Every structure is written in C-alpha cells, then in structure tokens.
Amino acid sequence: MPDPAAAEPAPGGFEKAPAPAPPRERPQAAGPAWIVVPARAVALLIAVPLRLLYEAVALVVRGLRHGLAGAALWVGRLFAALWHGIVGAVRWLGRLIAAIGRGVWRGVTEVARWVGLLLALIGRGLYAVLRGLGLLLVLLVVRPAQWIYATLLAPVGRALWWLLERVVVWPVLMAVRALVWLANALIVAPAVLLWRYVLLPTLAGLAWLLRQTGAALLWAWRATGRALAWLGRVLILIPAQALWRYVLLPPLIGLGWLLRQTGAALLWAWRATGRALAWLGRVLIFIPARALWRYALRPVWLGVAWSWRLAGRGLRLLWRYLVVAPARWTGRHVLRPAGTAVGAVWRVGVRTPARWVHRAALSPIRQTGRDVRLTIRRVLRGG
C-alpha cells in the first residue's frame, strides 16, 4: 500500500507517483488501498477545484464590486452635476431672456416715444412750411394774376372781340344772307313752282287711279275671302265644331277631370309624404346631427386638433430640448467616458483576473487531474 504522505500534491501543482512499500510496513489504521486512494482522488478532484473556483469568484466579485461601485458613484455624481448644471443654465437663461425682454420693451417704448415726438415736430414744421408757401403763392401768383386779368386781359379781350365782330363776323353774316337770298331766288322758288303746277297734278291723278284700282282689287279680295270663309265654315268649321262638342269634348272632359283628380291626389300624397319625410328627417336626423356637431363633435374636434397641435409642438420642443440635446450631451460627455471606464474596469476587474485564474488555477487543476488519474491507474495496476 502506498504511503499517504506520498499522495499529497507537490508544491509545483504536481503529485509524485506513489512508491510501493513492503507489505509488512503498511500501517493498519490507514485502510486498504482500494478505499484510501479513491477517497484522496475524489477529494483532490472535488474539494480543491471547488475551493479554487470559490476564491476566483470571490476575487472577481470583489473587483467588480469595487470597480462598478466606483463607476456608479462617478456616474451618479456626473448626472447630479449635469442636472444641477442644466437647471442652473435654464434658470440663468430664463433670467437672461426676461432681462432681454425688459430691455427690448423699454428700448422700443423709448424709441416709439422719441419717434412720436420727432414726427410731431416734423408735422408742425411741414404745416408751417406749407402755410408759408400758400401765403407766398397767394401773394406772388394769385393776386398778381387777378390784377393782370382785371387790368389787362379783360379790356384787351373786349377790344379784340369788338374788332373781330366788326371786321369778321358782320361781313361773314352779310355774305351768308346774300347766299341765302340767291339760293331762294334761283333754286327754291323754281322748285316750288314746278311742284305746285306740274308734279302735284300729275301725282294726284296717278294717286286717284291707283286708289280706284286698289278699291276694286280690295272688293274682289273681300268677296273671294267671304265666299271661302262661308265654304270653310259650312264644310269644315261646323262639322269639326260639332264633332268636338258632341263627340270628343265629353270624353276628354271626363278624362281631364279624372287625370286632374288623380294628379291632385298624387300631388297631395307626394306633398304630404315629402313634408312628413322632411319633418322626420329634420327632427330625427338633421337637428340632432347639427346639434351633435355644433355642441359635441365640433368642440371636441377643435379641442382635439388644438390639443394635438399644441401637444405635438410641446412634445417636439420637449423632445428636442429635454431628450435629444441632453441625450446627445450625455452620450458624448457621460456614456462614452462611462463606457470607457466600464471597459477599463471590466478589463482590470474581470478579464485580467479571469485570465489569471485560468492560467494560475484551472490549468494546474486540469494537470493535477491528469496526474491523479495517472496515479490511480498505476496504483490499481500495481495493486
């Protein structure tokens, strides 16, 4: 049976192969080899790896706890500083906008007051200038023009008219009168004599002849018309009138009365039905629909549209200034450095310890397991 001290692992992580001993030197209290060696192998394969795994996990947890706690504290402080900075900036911006608004209002009121005073002065100056120009125009133009007209133009005009009347108008008038007398003597008087003693008797005789001929033709036309009218009345009108009065008119009157009564009944029914339907439509559909639209749907629609428009604008502004800009700033100045810090913490607290655990613990454990299996094989083969 091998020595129990020889089965313990060497300081380098390897176990020495058990050396066989003489049977008479085996201690009686250690037990048989088929129990001791498997027990030691099981302890080495279960207890040692679990202990090493526990130490590795504890080391990783301590590194993560310290690293993540520091990162979380740093991120919380950064967010608190960011929040205080945003609140202070918003408060400062509001005060700045209020101060700018007050300054602009005061400036606008002062400028408006000075502009009003300047416009009043300009108006008074323009009024004085225009009044002076009016007086100057009256003194320099209107009065001299009146004097020139009364003193020069009116007498000169009267003299020119008298001269024109004596030199031009009177001779022209005399010439016109002479031409009128000559035309009367040479044209009008012969034409009157020709009409009175030549043309008028001839035209009168021709008119009498035409009048007698027209009277004869008119008498013949009237006689022919009377004969044709008598024949038409006897042969056409009286039979047609009798046919209409005694044959066609009574059935047509009855049919017309029947159609008139039927049309009146249908018209009354149509009007009554239309009025009833119109009243029902107005009472049951139009008035409730109009009241529903006017007092319920339209205010709700206007309120919803206004609220939607206002909410959209407010949400767009809030999203732009409370989410996008802070998120961009946070991503640029907080999350990127925090990600870098978390990556560094992960590299220092997790990846490097994991590599060290794998290199310093897991690889020796695997090697120890292989050595233990080799030792067990040798022991079992040797026993």
Tokens, residue 223? 């006689």
Maximum mean pLDDT: which of 111-120, 213-222, 283-292, 301-310 = 213-222
269-300 confidence digits (pLDDT tens): 899 998 988 898 888 888 888 888 888 888 88
pLDDT tens digits, 42-101: 666 666 666 667 776 777 677 666 666 666 677 667 667 767 777 777 778 778 877 887
Higher pLDDT, 35 or 126: 126
Best-predicted range by mean pLDDT (12-21, 222-231, 310-319): 222-231
Q: Tokens at residue 41, please?
A: 């192998």
pLDDT of residue 375: 79
pLDDT tier, 41 (very low <50, low <70, confident <90, very high otherwise):
low
Q: Looking at the predicted structure, is the pLDDT value of residue 267 above 90?
A: yes
Identify the three-state secondary structure at position 28.
coil
Question: In the beta sheet, which residues pair with residue 9?
Answer: 15
Task: Report the range out of 11-20, 26-35, 45-54, 178-187 with the highest average pLDDT.
Answer: 178-187
Query: For 184-208, b where at least 16 C-beta lie within 10 A, e where not — what string?
Result: eeeeeeeeeeeeeeeeeeeeeeeee
Which tens digits make up the pLDDT trace of 174-199?
888 888 888 888 888 888 888 888 88
Answer yes or no: is pLDDT of 363 > 80: no
What's the pLDDT at 174? 83
Segment 225-257, tens digit of pLDDT: 888 888 888 888 888 888 888 888 888 898 889
pLDDT of 157 > 90? The answer is no
* pLDDT the model gives residue 40: 61
9 phi and psi, to 5 degrees?
-70, 145
382 near 88, Cβ under 8 Å? no
Cα distance between residue 33 and residue 339, in whole Å = 57
Confidence check: pLDDT of 7 > 70: no
pLDDT for 72: 64
